Amino acid sequence: MSPKITVLETIAACRDYRAALGQTPIAFVPTMGALHEGHASLVRAARRIVGDRGHVIASVFVNPTQFGPNEDYSKYPRTLEADLALLQAATANAVFTPTPAVMYPPTDTAAGKEEARMTIDPGPLANVLEGAIRPGHFRGVCTVVTKLLNIVTPTKLVMGQKDYQQNAVLRQMIHDLNIPTEHVMEPTVREPDGLAMSSRNRYLSPDERSRAVVLYEALTWAAAEFAAGNRVPETLQAGMKQRIETRGLAVQYALPAHADTLIPWPRQIDGPCVLLIAAQLGKTRLIDNMVLKSA
């Protein structure tokens, strides 16, 4: 049985815990809770990266600053007891579980307002796709991850590929701000039928769940076309969109983009490419992606 996981509720407790580890390699897995096998796989990957002599620290924090005014912050599932059990079984050593008041205490500036807080400008990578649809989202993500990295000071930051744009933004942030942490992106974990695991999948009705797999089907179709030599973005985009809409989902975007800049390919794909999809299914918003490999 795994040793009991250490729960750290305050910044001071987390810093004291980290300081006692000295030069021990630390892999950090930030989460918003409502954990599933995809998160467990990240913790196990973090354990492989740092080995038995290293330490794996996770966090469970539903970050209010990355939710828009019409998004599901208040309804986002909170399942801390189950989350702790999953993290312990996956061999995490500790978990940081701050409240919003811990992470964002009341300001004592002259302005005295929430707007007076310092935030991280996520730059041009955050202006497209998710950033265009969810204004301010990546500002909230970058700000909270910077705070977490400053508190935990890990050797490695381990995240899943499902949030591809988030990975790209954070990787750029770590590079540009000279943060001494290496970003590691692990493959998306999928259900047996291909649906990407997500905490929001629990919102889906049985009928919606059966239709949600069309995102993966659209990605695999486009990947097969690409492997067969199709390099025309419009064709791939139209084919993915048509397949998704046939199953009754509202497509927000479904396109091939440059894997590094995230700029949609204009006429001919002639470099690193990622397929990116976002669609609304009932009240649930789903995203997925697939990196294409050139022959």
CATH 3.40.50.620 residue ranges of the chain are 6-186
Mean pLDDT of all residues in 87-102: 97
How far is residue 25's CA from residue 289's CA, in Å, rounded to a whole number? 31
Query: What per-residue confidence (pLDDT) applies to 71?
Result: 81
What are the backbone angles phi and psi of residue 97, rounded to the nearest 5°? -125, 65
Residue 144 has pLDDT above 80, yes or no: yes
Query: What per-residue confidence (pLDDT) applies to 293?
Result: 84
* Percentage of the chain modeled with pLDDT above 70: 96
Indicate the pLDDT class of residue 115, thresholds 50, 70 and 90: low
Indicate the pLDDT class of residue 106, thresholds 50, 70 and 90: confident
Q: Which two tokens stand for residue 220?
A: 């695999």
pLDDT per residue as tens digits for the range 147-164: 999 999 999 999 999 999
| 183 belongs to the catalytic site | no
- What predicted TM-score, i.e. pTM, was given to this entire model? 0.94
DSSP string, the chain: -PPPPEEE-SHHHHHHHHHHTTT--EEEEEE-S---HHHHHHHHHHHHHH-TTSEEEEEE---GGGS-TTS-TTTS---HHHHHHHHHHTT--EEE---HHHHSPPP-SSS-SGGGS------GGGSSTHHHHSTTHHHHHHHHHHHHHHHH--SEEEEETTSHHHHHHHHHHHHHTT-S-EEEEEPPPB-TTSPBP-GGGGG--HHHHHHHTHHHHHHHHHHHHHHTT---HHHHHHHHHHHHHHTT-EEEEEEEEETTT-PBP-S---S-EEEEEEEEETTEEEEEEEEE---
pLDDT per residue as tens digits for the range 198-233: 999 999 999 999 999 999 999 999 999 999 999 999
Residue 2 has pLDDT above 70, yes or no: no
| Long-range residue pairs from 12-15, CB within 8 A, at least 24 positions apart, any chain | 14/96, 14/151, 14/152, 15/151
Is-contact 62 26, C-beta < 8 A?
A: no
Query: What per-residue confidence (pLDDT) applies to 117?
Result: 78
Query: What per-residue confidence (pLDDT) applies to 97?
Result: 98
Residue 109 has pLDDT above 80, yes or no: no
For residue 269, CA distances in Å to 145, 222, 263, 273, 282 come to 33, 13, 11, 7, 33
Query: What per-residue confidence (pLDDT) applies to 73?
Result: 85
Residue 1 has pLDDT above 90, yes or no: no
Residue 287 has pLDDT above 60, yes or no: yes
Query: What per-residue confidence (pLDDT) applies to 113?
Result: 54
Mean pLDDT of all residues in 274-285: 97
Residue 111 has pLDDT above 70, yes or no: no
HSE of 246 in the Cβ direction (CA atoms, 13 Å)? 11
How far is residue 126's CA from residue 138's CA, in Å, rounded to a whole number? 6
CATH 3.30.1300.10 residue ranges of the chain are 199-289
What mean pLDDT value characterizes the chain? 94
Query: What per-residue confidence (pLDDT) applies to 40?
Result: 98
Closest listed residue to residue 73, CA positions, set 122, 118, 28, 134 = 134
Residues 6 or more apart in contact with residue 242 via CB below 8 angstroms = none
Query: What per-residue confidence (pLDDT) applies to 108?
Result: 57
Residue 89 has pLDDT above 70, yes or no: yes
Ranking 27-41, 68-82, 157-171, 248-262 by mean pLDDT, the lowest is: 68-82
Residue 116 has pLDDT above 60, yes or no: no
CATH of 6-186, one of 3.30.160.100, 3.40.50.620, 3.10.20.30, 1.50.10.20: 3.40.50.620
Query: What per-residue confidence (pLDDT) applies to 112?
Result: 53
| CATH H-level superfamily of 199-289 | Pantoate-beta-alanine ligase, C-terminal domain (3.30.1300.10)
pLDDT per residue as tens digits for the range 43-85: 999 999 999 999 999 999 999 999 988 787 888 889 999 999 9
How far is residue 57's CA from residue 8's CA, in Å, rounded to a whole number? 10
Choice among 36, 39, 55, 137 that is catalytic = 39
How far is residue 27's CA from residue 51's CA, in Å, rounded to a whole number? 10
Closest listed residue to residue 103, CA positions, set 72, 66, 156, 157 = 66
